[in-house]
Amino acid sequence: MLTIIQIVKFLPNPCTFSVNGLTIGVSTVDVLFHLRKSEVYRPFGTGGPQADPMAGLCRHILDQRSFYPVFPVPKDVASEVNLDLSHSNLLSLEETAPDVVVLPSRLKEFTKVVEGTVFVNPSSASKFNSNGMIARITVDAMRTGPERISVDLVKL
């Protein structure tokens, strides 16, 4: 029993941690959905960095350097966000962006590389009466950059 306790690590939500040199950021708050609901400006036309709306949501997180760049929390989703402003510094991303950011959302699952960071939205592990998705992340130690990371979204 003691050996299990030694290998289990409890982390805050959200958090950034490192495994063998790979930096991973994780949050369980559905920030992608909240950002999508809060967007006022939506560019039209094709091409350019904002042509992909999901990549645009991920870019907000990187540009604002925050796991939750929506403030104040919209009233209609306030019950989903347990945000204590006295601990808001814990929402900050470090100076260098994580290699991988995992943000489960009720939006359709996706994997995107945005400004060198791999964003993963595995959706949820269960959806009402059906199975959900999980993300299987594989790292190739022989490669560098985002190309070393592959993500398979697997239906349960």
Q: Which of 1-5, 36-40, 120-124, 134-138 comes out lowest in average pLDDT?
A: 1-5
Query: How many CB atoms neighbour CB 10 within 10 A?
Result: 5
pLDDT of residue 8: 78
Phi, psi of 4 (to 5 degrees): -65, -45
Instruction: Report DSSP state, residue 103.
Output: -
Q: What is the pLDDT of residues 78-98, one digit of tens each?
A: 778 877 777 777 778 877 899
Q: What pLDDT does residue 116 have? A: 94
**Confidence category of residue 127, pLDDT binned at 50, 70, 90:** low
pLDDT over 90, % of the chain: 39
Q: 83 exposed, middle or buried (CB, 10 Å; 0-12, 13-18, 19+)?
A: middle
Q: What is the mean pLDDT of the chain?
A: 84
pLDDT digits (tens, 9 = 90+) for 25-71: 999 889 999 898 887 665 665 555 557 889 999 999 999 999 988 88
Q: How far is CA 127 from CA 52, 53, 74, 145, in A?
A: 25, 23, 24, 33
More confident residue, 144 or 40: 144
Kindly report the pTM of this predicted structure.
0.83
